[in-house]
Amino acid sequence: MSRRVRDQGAAQTRLIMRAARAGRRLNDWSQERLADEMTAVGVPWTFDMVVNLELGRRKLLGVHELYALSYVLDVAPIELLAPTGVFPVLPHFFMHSDEVRTWITGRTSRTEVFR
């Protein structure tokens, strides 16, 4: 009998999509428009995909999708990866966005961040 493993990336995907939804709203775009913008840059998204991501029904987001989202929303990828505040970086390890950003940009090492 196989045991289903809980998706541990869902929380991070949810945070990225929350930031993407905020960017979509700042641009005054509908979910359909975001899907069209993503498709126009070569990452075929549909309205349903945007809705499912924003509602958390789709749990995973590819790196290529993250880059495309950053591009179409005209924000740096780090803005989607490390939203302001405290959030889960690992399943049971929470960090403040300032610490995450210094780690992602290489200004601190893993051992300095994960103490």
Mean pLDDT value across residues 4-21: 79
pLDDT bracket for residue 34 (50, 70, 90): very high
Residue with tokens 């989607």: 80
CA angle 20, 108, 111 (to 5 degrees): 110
If you count them, how many residues does the chain have? Answer: 115
Decide if pLDDT at 70 tops 90. yes
Give the other-Cβ count within 10 Å of 66's Cβ. Answer: 17
CA distance 83 to 102: 13
> Using the 8-state DSSP alphabet, how is residue 114 labeled?
-
Answer yes or no: are the C-beta atoms of 112 and 48 closer than 8 Å.
no
Residue 3's pLDDT is what?
Answer: 59
The percentage of residues in the chain with a pLDDT greater than 70, rounded to a whole number, is: 93
The confidence score (pLDDT) of residue 26 equals: 95
**Domains and their CATH numbers in the chain:** 1-81 (1.10.260.40), 84-115 (no CATH)
